[in-house]
Amino acid sequence: MTLSGASVLRLGRGMRLREDKARGQWVVLGPERMFVPDEIALEVLRLVDGARPVDAMVDDLATRFAAPREEILGDVLAMLEDLAAKGVVTA
Amino acid sequence: MTVPAAPPAAPLAAPPAAPLAAPPAAPLALLAELTHRCPLRCPYCSNPTALARPGEELDTATWARVFQEAAALGCLQVHLSGGEPTARRDIVALVRAASEAGLYTNLITSGVLTGEAKLQALAEAGLDHVQLSVQDAEPVSADRIGGYRGGHAKKLDFARLVHASGLPLTLNAVVHRQNLDRLPQLIELALDLGAGRLEVAHVQYYGWALANRDALLPTRAQLEAATATVEAARRALKGRLVIDYVVPDYYAKRPKSCMGGWGRQFLAVSPAGRVLPCHAAESLPGFDFPNVRQVSLQWAWEDSEAFNRFRGTGWMPLPCRGCERAELDWGGCRCQAFALTGDAASTDPACALSPHHGVLSLAVDAAIEAGTAFTYREPQKIPG
Ligand code: SF4
Ligand code: SF4
């Protein structure tokens, strides 16, 4: 899937983002699958809500992490494309 | 038959320099076998041959407590299974309880008892995923294997309801000599029904399936064709259908890591409340499995002798002891070791390094000569 700043994403069918208190982490649970997102992926996944376009997610991250917007956009798109290939998010 | 010896009891007071034993890592998933009742009679059913009676089943409140305890212990998922879990009249309440406990809730079902209204209620109660079993792609054969006339058609109706509801669907096909040739049609069926995943599971031979082994074991030619079919389909259907497929033990050189290791990731609770390291373990002799009516899930997991007996690598005999794969496959399946060697504490004969490995090829040879008649799963029948 090729994504752009205008893409709107939601979690894939049957995917749930949830805190795993016993192991001190967050996990994405799916049918017979489990992903442990790293810190950055978790920040991104928390903004995936089926309404907000990628551009708005990037604005939010750029403000909070005081990083150049263009750089973040590239990283976030690459990450979301990877997550989409795994079925964790979908357009 | 050899009853495996219990490991030496831990000393009451640890020697001064020894650190306290850390509790075992938390389990990831709970298999809740809500009932052994089922309208189908599959000859490979993984339920024990001594089926629990309906009167022994845990009630709604006890299951709700079990779900809370499982989540507190670290479980992330619950598989609601059976028997047929929807044979429980309180299935909607049970799904709600599991979901409220924060567990990812998967219903493992034959689909023949659930219509639109019940499915809707289950979805509203927080069900996350449905796993539907099919016995074959061809209706007459499917109904014969499941021992339930009209079952296949009901399953297709159910699958369409699931798809329409928006719930994710996995199709589970248990494969063996009498349906493996139709694997391409099973893949087609999964696509037609809108399943996101297809699980192609070879029969595991203990319990009912062991009694039916001669009628079920596939031939090597069938197996090779099936493996090629899966590989081609995976390539062609990338992004559309995930296919899970594992080569069966009877043709393998090394065993599978059964349950990810005894007492490492997984626990099961039987309809009558016994806490088990695997759903088949109840038929192992010489065990006193703890019961949720008497103990907490945490105690069962961390402290019971049953969970500690085969945990880790300390119990292992040769050739597992010191083997470089000991922490990869954990010596294979204890139930298969018991079924084929009479000793649950021996190396799984699926391993070519096991002195018993030869019994697998003998079984394969015997099955090729055998017929196709089944001993169906039935409460009163004990296969011999
Ligand atoms: S394997 Fe068949 S008989 Fe056993 S619980 Fe499943 S559907 Fe019922
Ligand atoms: S010897 Fe034991 S640990 Fe080694 S591969 Fe065989 S079953 Fe696994």
pLDDT tens digits for range B196-217: 899 999 988 877 888 888 888 8
pLDDT for the residue numbered B21 = 60
Question: Do B300 and B292 meet the contact criterion of CB atoms below 8 Å apart?
Answer: yes
Nearest chain B residue (CA) to A12: B168
Q: Is the pLDDT of residue B6 over 60?
A: no
pTM of the model: 0.87
The percent of residues in chain B predicted with pLDDT above 90, rounded, is: 53
Q: What is the pLDDT of residue B173?
A: 94
pLDDT of residue B60: 97
CA distance B77 to B327: 24
Q: Is A32–B244 a contact, with Cβ atoms under 8 angstroms apart?
A: yes
Sign of CA dihedral B330, B332, B336, B341: negative
Question: How close are the terminal C-alpha atoms of chain A, in Å?
Answer: 9
Chain A residues with a Cβ under 8 Å from any Cβ in chain B: 13-14, 16, 18, 20-23, 27, 29-32, 34, 85, 87
pLDDT exceeds cutoff 80 at B384 = no
Residue to probe by mutation, ligand 2, list B327, B333, B353, most atoms within 8 Å of CB: B353
CA pair distance B243, B229, nearest whole angstrom: 11
The pair of structure tokens assigned to A16 is 């749930």
User: pLDDT by residue (tens digit) across B218-231?
Assistant: 888 888 899 999 99
The pocket around ligand 1, CB under 6 angstroms, is made up of B 38, 40-42, 45, 47, 82-84, 110, 133, 377
Q: Mean pLDDT highest for which of A59-63, B88-92, B248-252? A: B88-92
Q: Give me the helix-helix angle, B60-73 and B91-100, nearest 10°.
A: 20
How do residues B75-88 score in pLDDT, each as one tens digit? 999 999 999 999 99
Ligand 2: residue of B254, B256, B257, B330 to mutate (most ligand atoms within 8 A of CB) is B254
Residue % of chain B over a pLDDT of 70: 93
Residue B85's pLDDT is what?
97
pLDDT score of B263 more than 90: no
Q: Is B258 in the pocket of ligand 2 (CB under 6 A)?
A: no
How close, in Å, is residue B263 to chain A by CA atoms? Answer: 16
Q: Give mean pLDDT, residues B98-115.
A: 95
Indicate the pLDDT class of residue B48, thresholds 50, 70 and 90.
Answer: confident
The per-residue pLDDT for B58 is 97
Minimal-distance CA residue of chain A relative to B131: A31
The pLDDT assigned to B127 comes to 96
**What band does B377 get if pLDDT is binned at 50, 70 and 90?**
confident
pLDDT in tens, B309-341: 888 888 898 898 988 988 888 888 888 888 888
Confidence grade of residue B110 (pLDDT, cut at 50, 70, 90): very high
Closest partner CB to A13 (pick from B26, B76, B196): B196
Write phi, then psi, for A27 (nearest 5 degrees). Answer: -135, 155
The predicted structure's pLDDT at residue B381: 55
Confidence of residue B122 (pLDDT cuts 50, 70, 90): very high
B26-46 tens-digit pLDDT = 999 999 999 999 999 999 988
Q: Which atom of ligand 2 is nearest to the CA of B350?
A: 7
> What residues does A89 pair with on adjacent strands?
A11
Q: Give the pLDDT of residue B297.
A: 96
Average pLDDT over residues B181-209: 92
Q: Which token pair is B384?
A: 């011999």
Q: What percent of chain A has pLDDT over 90?
A: 47
Check if the beta carbon of residue A16 is closer than 8 Å to that of residue A28.
yes
Residues in A closer than 8 angstroms to B26, CB to CB, are: 22-23
Atom 5 of ligand 2, residue of closest alpha carbon: B325
* Residue B77 at interface with chain A, using a CB cutoff of 8 Å: yes
Strand-pairing partners, residue A29, are A16, A34
| Contact in structure between B69 and B83 (CB atoms under 8 Å) | no
DSSP lists the bridge partners of residue B129 as B106
Residue of A nearest to B106 (CA): A31
What mean pLDDT, rounded, does chain B reach? 87
The answer to whether the Cα torsion of B283, B287, B290, B293 is positive or negative is positive
pLDDT beyond 50 at B4: no
Q: Which residue, among B81, B104, B242, would best test binding to A if mutated, counting the most A CBs under 10 Å from its CB?
A: B104
Which of the four pLDDT bands, split at 50, 70 and 90, describes residue B380?
low
Nearest residue in B to A16, CA atom: B104
